[in-house]
Amino acid sequence: MEQVEPDLYKRLGIAEDAEFSSIRKAYHTSTRKYHPDKLSSDMSECDRHASVAAFQAVKEAWQTLGDKGRRKQYDQERADAALTSHWLLSSTLDVEDVEYSEDNESYSWSCQCSGLYTVTKDEIEQGCNIICCSSCSLSVHITNSARLRMSMIATSCK
């Protein structure tokens, strides 16, 4: 998995841990700067086009970072991309697609080397998403789409 593009935080010129008020302030500052109605009439067509594109980029960043659920999903995708870029991954699996054992509350599946990938329910809930094979150097990226959907539903209901 590659770095999630584009970097919406850079678009607004803010830190990744910025509070909502800082995000909103950066959005308003940028929209005043790039808004098509605020551009100088003597601006070249090329500069006008660039400003309108910047305005659209700022608007897109705000639509994601200004919404708690979307921001959480975006941040998770960025974290996953950064983490998985450092591992030799054989595949990406969703936790819903692998075998679950009630006895030890864990998920497991076979590696191509006949080893096992195993992760507990608690580890998944804590955000563990890179699982190493018990026998070789391969790893898999495990996702939990159900948890993400529930998180987004809970956030949108607040």
| pTM for this model (two decimals) | 0.56
Structure tokens at 111: 């590696």
Q: Say which residues have a Cβ less than 8 Å from residue 57's Cβ, sequence separation at least 6.
A: 6, 11
**For 114-148, how does the pLDDT look when each residue is reduced to its tens digit (9 = 90+)?**
999 888 888 887 777 788 889 988 888 887 765 44
* Virtual torsion, Cα 135, 136, 140, 144, nearest 10 deg: 10
Question: Phi-psi category of 140—alpha, beta or left, where left has phi over 0 and alpha has psi -120 to 50?
Answer: beta
Percent pLDDT > 90 in the chain is: 34
Check if 8-67 and 87-156 are the same fold. no
In words, the CATH class of domain 8-67 is: mainly alpha
Domain ranges of the chain: 8-67, 87-156
Q: What fold does the segment set 87-156 form as a domain? A: Microbial ribonuclease fold (3.10.660)
**For 61-115, how does the pLDDT look when each residue is reduced to its tens digit (9 = 90+)?**
999 999 999 999 899 888 777 766 666 677 788 888 888 889 988 888 888 899 9
